Structure 1
């Protein structure tokens, strides 16, 4: 299963490089690809990198659609979820402090 996420991540990286060459910097497809990369990274327990990509998805979607768009809210909620997960991994005994 880890191998599948690693392979997916490789393909998403290639897609992102191509998209950055041919699309405008705030194209909605860039937000989707960044979000997909974030999900693959999270599946590999690389939460900090995942937060970076998910945050980029938020920024692009916010610029493209405005703050109230459903994709912006989806991406923002995912960033919050990742931050909570990062806390769980850092705090002793798995306790969650908010």
Structure 2
């Protein structure tokens, strides 16, 4: 448990595939950005975590209704 570098490696591979195959505001990209942010948060790299959480939020703000629970 706690192999964050391995998790980031796999999330990065996933993200590269998604960025090539999905539209830029696809919800799956938001999920991947959020997951990467969670890994950085667990590693204590809060500035990097914030960067990825903000990317996820921007997509969700564009694609979800304002009262959606993911925007709370």
What is the TM-score normalised by the length of structure 2?
0.92
Cα separation, 1, equivalents of 2:66 and 2:49: 21
Cα separation, 2, equivalents of 1:15 and 1:42: 19
CA-atom RMSD, angstroms?
A: 1.1
Could you say which residue in structure 2 is the equivalent of 1:93? none
Count of matched residue positions in the alignment of Structure 1 and Structure 2: 72
Cα separation, 1, equivalents of 2:33 and 2:55: 7
Structure with more relative contact order (C-alpha pairs < 8 Å, separation 6 or more): 2
Matched, 1:46 2:48: no
4+ residue runs over 2 A deviation: none
Runs (5+) with no aligned partner, structure 1: 74-98
Could you say which residue in structure 1 is the equivalent of 2:17? 18
Runs (5+) with no aligned partner, structure 2: none
Larger Rg computed on CA atoms: 1
Residue 67 (structure 1) shift = 2.7
1:8-87 alignment runs, 5 A limit? 8-73=7-72
